């Protein structure tokens, strides 16, 4: 099993959920994060009460889903399709290994639960 963790723009969420649903993925989790990347607040100078400041951290969503090894590439492809806008700040996808998964409701383990 692999966890696919991607940082995406909040506006992409709806499309992403639709995509995931079509792939019939077992599930996913979404977390509100603030991110810092190549964007680095470039060009985004705001002013609050006369003080100029750079918004260094952008609101992003972290979407995590655990999938069987076999599905990893398909999922990546679909995520790219759903979230790519070709402009800086689109985000990243990270993949890492999950050793075990357990469904709390039943206690069962393995690929079947995800």
Ligand X SMILES: Nc1ncnc2c1ncn2[C@@H]1O[C@H](COP(=O)(O)OP(=O)(O)O)[C@@H](O)[C@H]1O
Nearer to ligand X, 15 or 28 (CB): 28
Residue 93 found at the interface with a second copy (CB under 8 A) = yes
Residue 88 found at the interface with other proteins (CB under 8 A) = no
Residue 93: name the closest of 111, 77, 112, 104 by CA: 77
In Å, how far are 4, 25, 77, 101 from 112, measured between CA atoms? 17, 12, 22, 9
Residue 77: name the closest of 40, 31, 23, 114 by CA: 23
The set of residues, in sequence order, having a beta carbon less than 8 Å from that of 67 and lying 6+ positions away, is 1, 2, 4, 25, 26, 75, 114
Nearer to other proteins, 5 or 111 (CB): 5
x/- track of binding to other proteins for residues 56-85 (CB under 8 A): xx-x-x------------------------
Residue 55 found at the interface with other proteins (CB under 8 A) = yes
Nearer to a second copy, 7 or 71 (CB): 7
Q: Binding residues for ligand X, per CB under 6 A? A: 7, 26-29, 35-39, 58, 60, 64-66, 88-92, 103, 105, 114
């Amino acid at each position: 099993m692999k966890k696919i963790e991607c940082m995406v723009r909040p506006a992409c969420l709806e499309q992403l959920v639709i995509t995931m649903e079509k792939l019939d993925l077992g599930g996913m989790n979404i977390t509100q994060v603030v991110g810092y990347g190549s964007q680095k607040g470039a060009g985004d100078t705001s002013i609050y009460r006369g003080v100029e400041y750079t918004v260094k951290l952008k609101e992003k969503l972290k979407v995590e889903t655990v999938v069987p090894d076999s599905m990893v590439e398909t999922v990546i492809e679909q995520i790219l399709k759903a979230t790519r806008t070709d402009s800086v700040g689109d985000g990243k996808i990270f993949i890492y290994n999950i050793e075990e998964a357990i469904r709390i409701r039943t206690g069962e383990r393995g690929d079947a639960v995800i």
